[in-house]
Amino acid sequence: MNVYIVRHGQVPHNALGKYSSKDEDLNELGIKQAEELRKKIKDIHFDIVISSPLLRATHTEYILTNYDDSIITDERLRERSCGTLSGENLEVTNREEYWNYYSDIDYGINENIKDFFERIFNFLDELKKKDYEDVLIVAHSGVSKAFSAYFEGISDGKFLNRGLKNCEIKKYKL
């Protein structure tokens, strides 16, 4: 099974370099990014497309599937909760430590990285049991980091630079 993961298009908090737990929609650039990616993947027939339930992901999926409104969502594909960091600049944390699987630093009420990865691993373990050839997943940077851990291993535990950019796509074999 080929599993393609896409990070949603840009949203306001991405452009501002902030943490956010708001359910934001794509900005103008995010819509354009999704439209460009749609052109690049137009020849791939996906057996199923599954999205995070957050608006930025479902809107990206809607554009990528050429405005097919039969969106399938899965709660496990939500972004890692940033809790009390919402609205703060990314620089208020040590980003290397925030995305380090082995770090014990607690930045307040947020989702532990190990619990977050386990949530994504659970989704992928369940997907593995299905009989699909090509699957498109539309989610978030953090989710793409967890995919990287699942398919490429955890090794040194450093995931800051293992996430996708807005509307970037990566293919894995499941």
pLDDT per position as a tens digit, 136-174: 999 999 999 999 999 999 999 999 999 999 999 999 999
| First-last CA distance in the chain | 5
* Number of compact structural domains in the chain: 1
Q: How far is CA 123 from CA 13, 78, 102, 156, in A?
A: 26, 11, 22, 23
Q: Are residues 133 and 1 in contact, defined by beta-carbon separation less than 8 angstroms?
A: yes
Q: 140: exposed, middle or buried (C-beta count within 10 Å: 0-12, 13-18, 19+)?
A: buried
pLDDT exceeds cutoff 90 at 110: no
pLDDT per position as a tens digit, 69-98: 888 999 999 999 999 999 999 999 999 999
Alpha-carbon span 158 to 118, nearest angstrom: 16
Q: 74: exposed, middle or buried (C-beta count within 10 Å: 0-12, 13-18, 19+)?
A: middle
Q: Which domain holds residue 155?
A: 2-173
Which CATH number fits the domain that encloses residue 36?
Answer: 3.40.50.1240
Alpha-carbon span 49 to 165, nearest angstrom: 19
Q: Are residues 159 and 96 in contact, defined by beta-carbon separation less than 8 angstroms?
A: no
